[in-house]
A and B are shown apart, each in its own frame.
Chain A
Amino acid sequence: MKKVIIIDDEPLARSIVKSFLANHADLELIDESNNGFEGIKSIEKHKPDLIFLDIQMPKINGFEMLELIDEEPGIIFTTAFDEYAIKAFETSAIDYLLKPFTQERFDKAIDKWKQRNGTNSTVDSIIETAQKQPDEDLRIVVKDGSEIKIIPTDTVLYIEAYDDYVKIHTKEKYFVKKKTMSYYEKTLNSKDFLRIHRSYIININELTKIESYEKNSYRATLKNNAKIPISRSSYSGLKEILGL
């Protein structure tokens, strides 16, 4: 028996998946969640083989939820209409169900998942392309111990590279997230954020001072007194943005 979890904020949307699932004797529904927070807890607790995942959900959407789980189960996305997400799906091998869907379409998605043997090789690429949703530009979702934090991007001071991770610095503390610098360089609003070094992206609104530091190199000081090196190649770009 394979374990299945349904994550969707609409009860009726869950019930139709549940009734279609009843026709698959080899799949057992072990839990239902009505938002991403519950979803993470449920996934960590039950370690399912397959999840049905809605995209638009309260607080954090389906993609943001996936960023926060360590071991990805098999995923079948279910969504009504999401132009950003659908574009991402169409270019990938992973299956998604467009609401409303039929039992036949549902069965096909299950077959496809079985053939893939539970792997989601392209999920990461979907998340990367689908992530430019309007709401997400304004927040970063992180895991802080067992808690999930939503950080509005205007409260981010700077982002620092940290091996395979990044440190997202805010006034109170920093959070670690498994993402690349180039991802944030691409997705954060370029009016507010600028990459000034291979390892640093700063919030331009936090900048208080640029000073020369040792020979031929510069250093930025932020409102919280953090001192951040500026690479020679990005110094001219920074000067241009500040209108110097």
Chain B
Amino acid sequence: MNRYRGSYLLVAALAALATIAAACGGTTNTPGTTSKGTVTVAGFNFPESSILANLYGQALAHDGYTVNYKLNLGTRKVIAPALQSGQIDLYPGYAASELEYYNNSAGEATADPAATTAKLNTYLAKINAIALTPSPAFDGNAYAVTKATAAKYNLTKLSDLTPIAGQLVFGAGPECPTYKFCLPGLMSVYGLHFKQTLTLDTDGPATRAAFKNGSIQVGLVFSSDADLNALGLVVLQDDMHMIAADNVVPVVRTTIATDEVKNVLNKVDAGLNTTDLVTMNAQVALLHQDADAVATAYLQKHNYFS
């Protein structure tokens, strides 16, 4: 019995660990000889963003690029710095929300997607990024109440809330208090001063759970959510047009925004509409299909892979 055996084993374990760490610690993608380059696609932390990220990513992959994904990353406040520092190359944005983020809520977004995107690009140019052609597909903030609440106070539109907001509790995500199309907008455009605002999540399970157990009466959802009806929620109409053109638009770093990349992405965008978003959201949220599988099915159906 060798009394140094333990020590040898420890050293061997260390060496093995170091080797494995060196081998696996690097990036996992192997650049193929035919790859046109690497693109890192990011998505916000809700399923629709994962679907859109996959639509863009798979279209680019089909065109010969090596695509990495960083999905469920978080809010715009996490993704935008990552884009600026080059850790990600592309994310699926929403035109008006992007504009109001990069212009520090200056209030320049309008209901016109093209104009909004053009204005957005004046800001993106300063950080070496560009937004491409906005899609007809739209998904903006929406404010929902339960059917019971709507019946009780006779609510169909957001301005119906103005007289009774003080009796209601509002729930949204952590970015809501400082996000133009959320709490500040509700207060300035509709004069809504809720009894209380709860920090839950951005259109996620906590918000839905809060509706269910009555902790909130009004909550932030997204206009293309597919499960609202099934959950007994109804969206109040934005009658004073607080929400601007939140059309889907890819935000890309100029270093990878070659004409070819732009063509691929714009083609995906052009064929996408709001109904498509709702359908794909339903497949993920209600049928638990994978975002990437849903994206592949959509691209195949619309002959992007032919």
The reply to whether chain A is a binding partner of chain B is no
Residues of A within 8 A of B (CB): none
